[in-house]
Structure 1
Amino acid sequence: MGASHWDHYVPYQEDLGAALEELRHRVFLADDYYWVRGADGLPEEERRPRPSTLDELWDDEWTQHSGTHSVLDVFIVQREEEAPEAFAVHPVTTEEARRATGTGRLTRDHVPAIQDLARERWYGRCAVLHDEAGTPEEIYFWGWSGA
């Protein structure tokens, strides 16, 4: 199948980790992810209903291998000073923002300029986006995942 790009805008909150958890919960409840066990190409005896919890989803060996092609494939938001890791979201640093856009205070208009900061599979990014007055307004999460 190959990797899939995913992205989401959520209202700003200071705790980026809490914002990610709320987003993951919302995506799971909306069934807005690829469920490998429900694939049309599978024989009927191998198909399974969608899991009822995230734990149940990640207990499935097929999901562990193929992922969900969604934000569900990342689990934590790292601190800016940490080295980026797989299965995590790394915030865009002020330096990265300046290099990509010429400013350290990003807005929604800057999103196309920062898209390439997430190119690796199983890896997400996030950026705080500001309104015209410079007030944090939303968080943009994006990345690539899935096998």
Structure 2
Amino acid sequence: MGASEWDYCVPYQEDLNAALQQLRREVFEAGDYYWVNGGDWRPEEEREPRPQSLEELWEDEVVQEAGTHSILDVFRVVGPDDTPDHHTVEPVTAEEAHALLGTDKLTRAHVADFDVFPRSRWIGRCAVLHDDQGHPQEIRFWGHSGD
């Protein structure tokens, strides 16, 4: 199948990891992800119902390999002293934003240029977006995952 790109925007909150966890719950509850074991490529009698929890979802070995092609494929936001790894989200720093886009206060207008931020498969990115007065308004999460 190959990897899929994903992109989400949520209201700003100071705790980026809490925002990620809330978003993951919402996406899971809405069923807005690829469920490999229920795909219409399988005969009807072999399709499995969607899992009842995120834990149940990730217990499945096929999901561990193929992913969900969504925000569910990342589990936590890394801190400033952490090294991003498989299933994590790396925040864009003010220094990185300034070096690549000329400002440390990103806005929705900058989103079209987010391809300048380095990224790797199975590692998401996030950035705080500001209003015209420089106040944080939203958090954008993006990445690509899945096989």
TM-score, with length taken from structure 2:
0.95
Question: In the TM superposition, what are the counterparts of 1:22-101 in structure 2 within 5 Å?
Answer: 22-101=22-101
Verify the 8 A CA contact 1:100 1:114 in the aligned structure 2: no
Shift of the alpha carbon at 1:115?
Answer: 3.0
Shift of the alpha carbon at 1:80?
Answer: 2.5
Instruction: Supply the distance in 1 between the matched residues of 2:3 and 2:71 (Cα, whole angstroms).
Output: 12
Verify the 8 A CA contact 2:128 2:138 in the aligned structure 1: yes
**Letter of the structure 2 residue corresponding to residue 52 of structure 1:** Q
Q: What is the aligned residue count?
A: 147
Q: Which residue of 1 aligns with 2:2?
A: 2
Q: State the Cα deviation string for residues 30-51 of structure 1 (Å, max 9, x = none).
A: 1110000011112334310111
Instruction: Supply the distance in 1 between the matched residues of 2:10 and 2:4 (Cα, whole angstroms).
Output: 20
Structure 1: 5+ residue stretches without partners = none
TM-score, with length taken from structure 1:
0.95
**Letter of the structure 1 residue corresponding to residue 19 of structure 2:** A
Q: Which residue of 2 aligns with 1:114?
A: 114
**Letter of the structure 2 residue corresponding to residue 43 of structure 1:** P
Verify the 8 A CA contact 2:66 2:146 in the aligned structure 1: yes
CA RMSD in angstroms comes to: 1.2
Q: Which residue of 1 aligns with 2:18?
A: 18
